[in-house]
Structure 1
Amino acid sequence: MEVLLENSRSRKNKHVLRTFLFKVDVNGVIQQIELPGKVVRPTYKVGEAKIVNIPNKGTYVYLFLLRNLYGRVIGRIIVINDGKIVLVMKYRKLKLKLIDGDDKYVTIVKRISEQLKIPVKKININKKK
């Protein structure tokens, strides 16, 4: 599975885009990883971007965060286990919302948000039926 790792911002610093990739070990240790990849053009003018290939074995967390003109941060969190997407969450208005997937991976997302010091007021794990 390929994902885009990007760290870019606009010239006037009004928009900022950051993506992270974390690997979760079998012991539960979460580490940010850097994989080699193909360099591509970033979304905004200042910064760099590359497309990396995630290995099929293991659990990985892909985090996409975008700060807009008003300073609000929106994002998506995707948990990938053995090459398949097992959890998709949305971050908006300081809240994490379960979009699709298994809620047993939410604890990993909580630990990553604490590790990156992302403010979270509420976590909604109720799926619509």
Structure 2
Amino acid sequence: MIINSIDKITDTERDIAWGNGKSRRLLIEKDNMGYSLTDTIIDAGTSSLLEYKNHLEACYCIEGDGEVVDEQTGEVHRITPGTMYALDKNDKHWLTAKETLRLVCVFNPPLKGDEVHSLGGGSSAY
């Protein structure tokens, strides 16, 4: 059984500042679950161009207000508590936080744990 908490991983190698927020990695590849689980904070007033070329991701909003924009289609989707979005085609997207957003995210395959974003639209380590 694996037991983890935000308090336990704060200020450890699982607490990653990624430029426009923090990704607290509750489960990573070495936990051998076949997926990873993060508690992710997106700072209010930020917009991030993101693309995960090596991972599929599902995000469930538990706090805040923002939007996700599909870079290919231009579709805009509001993100509020209770909203889930899944990047099932390695979708390049803009994530904007009008208020601080808090998302619970699942990645498949799992994150190794030290990956970071390239916020300029370049290649990410994801």
Q: Which TM-score band applies after superposition, normalised by the shorter structure?
A: 0.3 to 0.5
Identify which of structures 1 and 2 has the higher relative contact order when contacts are C-alpha pairs closer than 8 Å and 6+ apart: 2
TM-score by length of 1: 0.33
Whose helix fraction is larger, Structure 1's or Structure 2's? Answer: 1
Give the number of the structure whose alpha-carbon radius of gyration is greater: 1
TM-score by length of 2: 0.33
Whose strand fraction is larger, Structure 1's or Structure 2's? Answer: 1
